[in-house]
Each structure stands twice: as C-alpha cells, then as structure tokens.
Chains A and B, each alone.
Chain A
Amino acid sequence: MSAFVKQLKEGLLTNNPILVQLIGMCPTLATSTSLKNGIGMGLAVTFVLMCSNLVISLLRRFIPSKIRIAAYIVIIAGFVTIVDLSLQAWLPDLSASLGMFIPLIVVNCIILARAEAFASKNAPLPSLVDGLSMGLGFTAAISMLSAVRELLGSGTILGIPVFGSGYTPIIMAILPAGGFLLLGILIAIFQHLMNRREKKEASK
C-alpha cells in the first residue's frame, strides 16, 4: 500500500510529467483553452497510458529490444485509435474541440517515456499504477492551466460565468501567446514552492 501511495505522489508532485519532467507540451498548450477540454485530454491520456503500460509490461519478455520502440508505438497507436473512435461515437462535441490532438496522443512523449523507462522493466501491476499516477499528474497540471486560462480568457469555469456580466475577458489568455505565458508562470510557481520545501527539509 505504501508503495502505491509513493508512486501516486511521484506522478502527481515530485516527478509530475508537465511541471517537473517538462514533457508532453504540445497537447498541454493546445487543448487547455477551457477546463472541459483540459480534463477531457487529461483523461484520454490517462486511459492510453494505463492500457499501454499494462500491455507493454505483459509483453516485455517477448518484445526484442532492437525493435522495441516500433513495437511500443504500434501498441500505443492501437489504444489511441480506440479512444479516438469512442470519443467520435459518444462524445462528438469533445472530439470536435480536441480535434487533431487526439490522434496525436500517439507521439506524446509522456507515453513513450513511461513505456521505455518503467513498463519495460517492471511487473504489470506496478506499471498499471505508474500509468494511473502519471496520467493523473498530467490531468492535474493541464486542468490547473486550463482553469486559469478559461477564467481569464472567457470569465467562466466549465462554461458557467463567474465574474458576472461586467467582466471584460482577457482574450490573450486563450490565445497561443497566453498559453505559453501562463504555463511559464505555473511552472515558475511550482519550482518556487519545491525550492522552498527543499530548503525547509535541508534546514531541519
């Protein structure tokens, strides 16, 4: 149980894919224009990450190491196709607003990185948990960013107006430039908090 908590903490905080490892930037920036899109993208990535980690871990003794990357990509592409077609069938609105970034989960560095760094070396259950915790870490970070961008850029949260009718939206926040800027500030705040925590622990 403690191993489970430790893995979860690693994915959410100490080794967060977006805030610490700094990978998977393209979907983070592109789909964080509203909280709904952000959560949708995060959950889609979490699903693919868990499935691919599980399957790759089960097959890790059968995949020859020379062609492992190609094998991983085919496995990942299979699950991404499942997500893509399911979203098109059941959640057409979300599928339309995430657009081409659903098929592009295939080349999301987070998934290949976890396959290579974790699932190819560990048993199925820890790999599944690793996929869950990294996926939730990704979802948490992208949700935070998209909540801020939606709040500033449209004055709403999940489509519900927050500031009342007198608010003039800062359109910049949902434009690409605002995405870069706000993600930069988010990571800077996170780095600041982590530095302070490290200092506190060091002085103890």
Chain B
Amino acid sequence: MNLTHYFSLSLSAILIENFIFVKFLGCCPFFGVSKKTDTALGMGVAVTFVMTVASAVTNLINTYILKENFAYMRTVAFILVIASLVQFIEMFLMKSMPSLYDSLGIYLPLITTNCAVLGVANLNVSNGYDFISSVIYGFSAGIGFTLAIVLFASVREKLEYADYPKCFTGFPIALVAASLLSIAFMGFQGLKVF
C-alpha cells in the first residue's frame, strides 16, 4: 500500500467511477437539492463528512465485531450505525458549531437515507479495503459527489431560462441534463491507466 495506490484510489472514486454519474449512488439528494449552487455545496460537504466518518466506523465494526461469523448482519448493523452516526453528528454540530449546523440544516437527517453512504460502506467491504484505504475511498467518493452535485446545480440554474417542450418541465429536463454531464464524465474512463 504505497502512495500511488492511494492516489489512484481517490482519483478513481472522484472522476473515473463517480458515484452519481457512473455508479448511480445518491441520486435522490442529487436531484432533490440541486436547484441552487450554495445548497448543493452544503449538501455535498455534509455528505462528504458523513461518508468519511461512516467509512472509518463501519470498517472497524466489520473487522473487529462482525468478522466472517456475522456477515449476514452486515446490512442491519451498517444502517443502524449510519443512522445513529448522523444523529450524533447532528447533536455535536448543534452544540459546538452552530453556524455550520444552521447552514447544513435539513440536509443532515436526510443523509441517513442517502444510498451513497451505505453504498460506500458496502463497497469498502466487498473490495476488501483496509482501514486507511476505506477512509480515503469514503472521503474521495464524497468529493466526487460534491463535484457532481455542484456542477449539476449550476447547469440547472441556467436551465431555468431555457426554452424546452412543456412536458419536459421539472424532472425530465433535469434527467436530460444529467445525461449530458454523464457523457462528459465518461471521458474520464481514459484515466484508468493506474
């Protein structure tokens, strides 16, 4: 496990296998809170934070408590850990960093049902990452999510003024825009040299 390994791991999580555009994880908040750039950024930061901490905690739980014997409990254990972690982070931020808490506001509790968080925990296990790789993977996946949602929000802000068929109003046109962004991200497949 050298530096090149960590670099290619994070590059792959951010660009080549972007959670939203390639793996389809975390689409609900992606479409739900991408109407404005600043709220999208807030959501991205909150998700990155939770994903990093969740990767660390679930990795420890999987290695030291569940092991191979209780593998069937993985889904239940992970979702409980993530739900309580989000609750804990919410209380912690409310007490110690009220300004950050206010800006994240309603997005924090929503993260529990963001499948990108449970997805990253499951991927860490199925790819057999050790502790440090898990944390780096979780953090990079969060950065990739943030990048995608902020780019998409800025596209959507411009879409407000666009002229398109009436039946595409709202969600369908957002999906078409996401499709175009996804084509752009396909270009990063060429980076798979590492």
Contacts and interface: CB of A to CB of B under 8 A. Distances in A.
Contacts of A192: 167
Interface stretch (A38-46, A101-109, A156-164): A101-109
A85 B73 CA distance: 11
B33 to A, nearest CB: 13
B126 interface: yes
B113 A81 contact: no
* Most-contacted residue by chain B among A104, A178, A185, A189 (CB, 10 A): A104
Contacts of B21: 176-177
Given A109-B28, A187-B171, A103 B182 contact: no
Contacts of B180: 177
Q: Is the interface of B mostly helix, strand, loop or mixed?
A: helix
A23 interface: yes
A103 B76 CA distance: 9
Contacts of A107: 79, 112-115, 117-118
A77 B79 CA distance: 8
Given A26-B24, A180-B182, A195-B167, A103 B122 contact: yes
Interface of B: 21-28, 31, 72-76, 79-80, 83-84, 112-115, 117-119, 122-123, 126, 165-169, 171-176, 178-180, 182-183, 186
Interface of A: 22-26, 29-30, 69-70, 73-74, 77-78, 80-81, 84-85, 100, 103-104, 106-109, 112, 175-181, 183-185, 187-189, 191-192, 195
Given A23-B28, A178-B179, 12 more contacts: A30-B25, A77-B80, A81-B76, A103-B122, A104-B119, A108-B115, A112-B113, A177-B183, A180-B175, A180-B179, A185-B176, A188-B167
